[in-house]
């Protein structure tokens, strides 16, 4: 018999979602606007404490609009975390601006404040900084924000993976000029696809909604004085989001439990270190990850192969963007200025473990047993 598939992070639906979707159908609000869209924005504002929110078609669209609203244009420099998914950076290139990649630090795996300071020595006037809270772990926001403030650079927080994570009691995504969340299928809650742009400034979110609906001027006829986008979330999709948001805290609790189970199980194997959690924050533990000691005979590839044999899904750590062929021409800044990079080291020695909240105790035992057996 085929072994059951154990997922990295798949959608977990509860039934509430369908009620909101049904309501959208029953009232024929099957459109890129409607009561679910408005309600999801309000509910996200209430949940995260963000001032204002705009529901969009994707997290990537939210990053793109944030850059537009900050006036990023051709030739501008934007500082961005290197250790992340390409979607963090691609919108910089949509605007023909120049990404400058910033290395990670070991304590959170996120943007290194020292490397960020060094980047300013070379590029004193970046148009924006995009900071990622990778795998749900909050970055060193105090230090990063101080540096940004000192230089007068607006901060965009890519909180696509960290919805529900807090730093000093406040939600990630609500510290910068803009924050973005993703509701992609693998995220902690999902609408199948979708995203949210948040900002403390109402006017910016009003402009975001305008740009996201083809920049239509207020006139009876179709009039446009700017180029816009078709980036709005649909009312059906937003219904799924409203149902999911009711379970975000529960998803976070289960994700944290998965992380704790792995941490305790692997404590006895000195070659294994779990991904860091910021002690100043409360991470949503979206994905549980590990790194293996330098020179360890058990490599990430061996672990991923062994898990695949058990039909369990694991993944490499994001390959740093400064190592991607498509970004080969872009600059990369480390804390010490040397060629050794922390992000590359984490990528080479790390992997993401199955972190699906539907994993049973037996699934977890199978995963843990499989990993441990490689060290015998
Ligand atoms: C998922 C993700 C995104 C993009 O979100 P989409 O909704 O898929 O466009 C951006 N940044 C990071 C770090 C992500 O993990």
pLDDT at 52: 98
CA 111, CA 347: separation in Å to the nearest integer?
Answer: 15
Instruction: Locate the ligand 1 atom nearest the alpha carbon of residue 61 and give its number.
Output: 9
- The finding on whether 161 has its CB within 6 A of some atom of ligand 1 is yes
CA of 26 from ligand 1 middle (Å) equals 31
Q: Is 157 in the pocket of ligand 1 (CB under 6 A)?
A: no
Q: What strand order describes the sheet that includes 155-158?
A: 52-56, 195-199, 178-182, 155-158, 128-132, 77-81, 98-102, 331-333
Q: Decide whether any atom of ligand 1 lies within 6 Å of the 182 Cβ.
A: yes
CA distance 354 to 6: 7
Q: Looking at residue 33, what is its pLDDT?
A: 87
Q: Is 160 in the pocket of ligand 1 (CB under 6 A)?
A: yes
Q: What angle do CA 9, 12, 15 make, to 5 degrees?
A: 170
* pLDDT the model gives residue 1: 63
Residues in the chain: 376
Distance 203 CA to ligand 1 centre (A): 25
Residue 123: how many CB atoms within 10 A of its CB?
A: 15
Nearest CA to ligand 1 atom 5: 59
pLDDT given for residue 268 in this prediction: 96
CA dist., res. 89 & res. 46, Å (int) = 28
pLDDT beneath 50: ranges in the chain: none
| C-beta 59 within 6 A of ligand 1 | yes
**What tokens does 149 get?**
């403030």
58 CB near ligand 1 (under 6 Å): yes
- In short, whether 244's Cβ falls inside 6 Å of ligand 1 is no
* Residue 179 CB–ligand 1 contact under 6 Å: no
Q: What is the pLDDT of residue 208?
A: 98
Per residue in 214-257, pLDDT (tens digit) is 999 988 899 999 999 999 999 999 999 999 999 999 999 999 99
- Whether 346 and 115 have beta carbons less than 8 Å apart is answered as no
**How many angstroms separate the CA atoms of 315 and 290, rounded?**
11
Angle at 161 between CA 157 and CA 167, to 5 degrees: 60
Question: For ligand 1, is residue 88 a contact (CB within 6 Å)?
Answer: yes
Cα 349 to chain centroid distance, Å, stands at 21
Q: Is the CB of 237 under 6 A from ligand 1?
A: no
Q: Measure 123 CA to ligand 1 centroid, in angstroms.
A: 27
Q: Does ligand 1 lie within 6 Å of residue 84's CB atom?
A: yes
Q: Is the CB of 9 under 6 A from ligand 1?
A: no
What does the pLDDT read at residue 339? 81
Q: How far is the CA of 129 from the centre of ligand 1 (A)?
A: 17
Own/partner long-range contacts of 43-49 (Cβ < 8 Å, ≥24 apart): 43/242, 43/245, 44/181, 44/196, 44/198, 44/245, 45/198, 47/171, 47/245, 47/248, 48/163, 48/171, 48/173, 48/174, 48/179, 48/181, 48/198, 49/170, 49/171, 49/174
Q: How many Å lie between the centroid of ligand 1 and the Cα of residue 158? A: 8
Ligand 1 within 6 A of CB of 60: yes
Of 190, 208, 192, residue with least CA distance to 50: 208
What is the C-alpha separation between 222 and 273, in angstroms, rounded? 58
Residue 307 tokens read as 């898990």
Distance from residue 134's CA to the centre of ligand 1 (Å): 11
Asked if residue 217 lies in contact with residue 225, where contact means CB atoms within 8 angstroms, the answer is yes
CA 83 to ligand 1 center in whole angstroms: 13
Please tell me the distance from the alpha carbon of residue 176 to that of residue 196, in angstroms, as a whole number. 14
> What's the gap in Å between 6 CA and the centre of ligand 1?
22
Parallel/antiparallel/unpaired status of strands 315-316 and 350-352: antiparallel
Tell me how far apart the alpha carbons of residues 287 and 187 are, in angstroms, rounded to a whole number: 9
């Amino acid at each position: 018999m085929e072994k059951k598939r154990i997922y990295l992070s798949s959608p977990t639906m509860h039934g509430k979602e369908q009620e909101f979707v049904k309501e959208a159908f029953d009232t024929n609000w099957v459109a890129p606007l409607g009561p679910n869209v408005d309600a999801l924005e309000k509910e996200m504002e209430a949940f995260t404490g963000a001032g204002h929110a705009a529901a969009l078609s994707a997290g990537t669209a939210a990053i793109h609009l944030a850059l537009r609203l900050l006036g990023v244009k051709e030739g501008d420099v934007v500082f961005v975390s290197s250790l992340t998914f390409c979607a963090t950076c691609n919108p910089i290139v949509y605007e023909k601006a120049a990404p400058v990649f910033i290395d990670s630090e070991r304590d959170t795996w996120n943007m290194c404040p020292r490397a960020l300071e060094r980047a300013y020595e070379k590029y004193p006037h970046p148009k924006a900084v995009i900071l990622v809270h990778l795998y749900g772990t909050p970055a060193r926001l105090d230090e990063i924000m101080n540096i940004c403030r000192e230089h007068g650079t607006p901060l965009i927080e890519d909180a696509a993976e960290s919805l529900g994570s807090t730093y000093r009691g406040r939600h990630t995504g609500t510290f910068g000029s803009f924050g973005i969340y993703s509701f992609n299928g693998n995220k902690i809650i999902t609408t199948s696809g979708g995203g949210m742009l948040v900002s403390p400034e109402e006017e910016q979110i009003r402009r975001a909604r305008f740009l996201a609906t083809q920049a239509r001027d207020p006139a009876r006829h179709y009039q446009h004085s700017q180029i816009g986008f078709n980036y709005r979330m649909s009312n059906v999709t937003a219904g799924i989001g409203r149902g999911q948001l009711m379970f975000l805290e529960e998803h976070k609790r289960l994700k944290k439990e998965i992380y704790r189970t792995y941490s305790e199980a692997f404590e006895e194997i000195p070659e294994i270190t779990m991904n860091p959690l910021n002690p100043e924050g409360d991470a949503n533990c979206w994905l549980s990850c590990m790194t293996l000691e330098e020179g360890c005979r058990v490599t990430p590839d061996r672990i991923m192969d062994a898990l695949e044999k058990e039909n369990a899904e694991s993944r490499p750590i994001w390959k740093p963007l400064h190592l991607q062929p498509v970004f080969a021409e872009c600059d990369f800044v480390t804390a010490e200025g040397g060629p050794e990079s922390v992000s590359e080291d984490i990528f080479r020695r790390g992997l993401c473990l199955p972190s699906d909240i539907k994993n049973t105790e037996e699934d977890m035992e199978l995963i843990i047993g499989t990993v441990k057996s490689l060290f015998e």
